[in-house]
Amino acid sequence: MGGGGAPGPEGKCAQMNQSETQKVGYWEATAIGVGGMVGGGIFAVLGLSVDLAHGGAPLAFLIAGFVALVTAYSYARLSVSFPSQGGTVAFLDRAFGPGLLTGSANILLWISYMVMLSLYAYAFGSYGASLLPPQWHSVGKHVLISVSVIGITGLNLLSARVIGEAEDWVVFIKLAILALFIAVGIWGVDAARLSVSAWSSPLHLVTGGMIIFLAYEGFELIANTAADVRTPATTLPRAFYTAVGFVIVLYVLVAIVTVGTLPVDRIVAARDYALAEAAKPFLGQTGFTLIAVAAMLSTASAINATVYGAARLSYIIAKDGELPAALERKIWNEPIEGLLITSGVTLVVANLVDLSSLSTMGSAGFLLIFAAVNGANARLAGATRSQRWLPLTGVVLCLAALAALLWQTALTAPGRIWILVVMVTVAFAIELVFRLTTGRKLRVSESGPD
């Protein structure tokens, strides 16, 4: 009796049951996707979409959501077939091999996360500054941007769980406030402001959706949990489609209330904090403050989740041999080097680049990455049991959306195209120089980080 041997049948069953209860279920996986998407994007980029699409902003969000939904099909099929903590990185390596272009794409993904972090920090600073006296807006915004990045990086160095433990509450609070915004504001919507005559041209409608496409970025976080999901074959597809579908409806309703209750020129004038301004007509100054505080909470939690996720991403890429081995090292069980690089770049970019450029850069970067993921699923369609035409449609949609975004940018602010060129060039150059100088052997990740 007793001793240290293997457990009997009852013990094995107990262990299995405990393991099952610790796995991620449908609602948890869906919440991860919703929390990833409604992390701060809608607070940051709503005004940009209205600036381009005018009364057609709800349609612009719907167009962007459709592209995200098609791409979610590829993520769902790849996640079921190749469950890995590596997510996007593992899918690209699996489909195309750890070559120069794949490595460059993975580094571009890391850079795109830095841009998204910069957008969240910019939104945090803008909403916070909107609560300050007018003479302090400019200085206050940059102080708050810096505090958000440095402070949250410090918390991650101390313990990645400090804010993470409150994440569920933050997600609940921001969804509750957005629900209040919709429920109260929908009764005051002026249908004339949403009529076809109030829409922009078709090109502006598409670009109005694509410039804010990164507001849908985040559903792919579900893929990182694939190895820990119960009954993944059914749970993962349902979680992906539910999360993206829910967020599409949420964003479209928020856009309807915003455009339907506030003149476009006022939204554009306050585009850095458009959602708070949109609450004024029906919730007054209290509503403005409530939305601004919700935006700061939301973007702070998004910065926390993304800065740690981006640091882990650099660790995974390095573990696959596509970045220096130094980024594989862990200090206090955390990828410190990747965290510091991510935060340092974010701090500089968020303070120097304007909102429109950040959104254009981030959306373009993720459209390229999502086109590659759709391409990966098309290439592996036999293994993932996919209808090949669907991921191929996703490739076409992502590239067409990118083309529309770049065309509009070339017409209105051609200098911003160079920012994307620099992003892609830097990603390619880092991978090329790394290969030429180290000769380090690359390897396909099977299960992500230890």
Q: How many CA atoms lie within 13 A of 39 on its CB side?
A: 28
Rounded distance, CA 36 to CA 230, Å?
20
Rounded distance, CA 87 to CA 225, Å?
8
Our measurement of the distance from residue 379's CA atom to the centroid of its chain's CA atoms, rounded to an integer in Å, reads: 25
Residue whose pair of structure tokens reads 């007054």 in the numeric block? 284
pTM for this prediction: 0.82
Q: Please list the residues that pair with 334 across neighbouring strands.
A: 331
pLDDT of residue 72: 95
Determine what percent of the chain falls in helix, strand and coil, rounding each to the nearest 5. Answer: 80, 0, 15
pLDDT of residue 19: 44
DSSP string, 77-137: HHHHHS--TTTHHHHHHHHH-S-HHHHHHHHHHHHHHHHHHHHHHHHHHHHHHTTS-GGGH
DSSP string, 171-187: HHHHHHHHHHHHHHHGG
Structure-token pair, residue 251 = 């964003």
Rounded distance, CA 124 to CA 151, Å?
13
Residue 392 burial (CB < 10 Å; 0-12/13-18/19+)?
A: middle
Rounded distance, CA 304 to CA 149, Å?
9
pLDDT of residue 112: 85
CA distance readout (Å), 407 to 68, 75, 209, 410: 21, 28, 14, 5
Give mean pLDDT in consecutive 10-residue pieces for the chain, a chain of 450 residues.
Answer: 38 38 75 79 83 91 94 95 83 85 84 86 90 88 92 72 57 83 91 91 86 84 82 92 95 94 89 87 88 86 74 65 54 61 86 82 88 95 94 94 86 81 86 71 43
Structure-token pair, residue 405 = 């975004």
Check: CB of residue 115 under 8 Å from CB of residue 367: no
Say which amino acid occupies 152: I
Nearest CA to 130 out of 362, 360, 288 is that of 288
Nearest CA to 210 out of 69, 408, 355, 20 is that of 408
In the 3-class helix/strand/coil scheme, how is 321-338 assigned residue by residue?
A: CCCCHHHHCCECCECHHH
Rounded distance, CA 33 to CA 38, Å?
9
- For the domain spanning 31-438, the CATH number is 1.20.1740.10
pLDDT of residue 71: 96
Structure-token pair, residue 4 = 């240290």
Q: How many helices and strands, by DSSP H and E, does the chain display? A: 18, 0
Neighbours of 389 (CB within 10 A): 10
pLDDT of residue 31: 83
**Which ranges of 186-231 would DSSP assign to H, the alpha helix?**
202-210
pLDDT of residue 397: 93
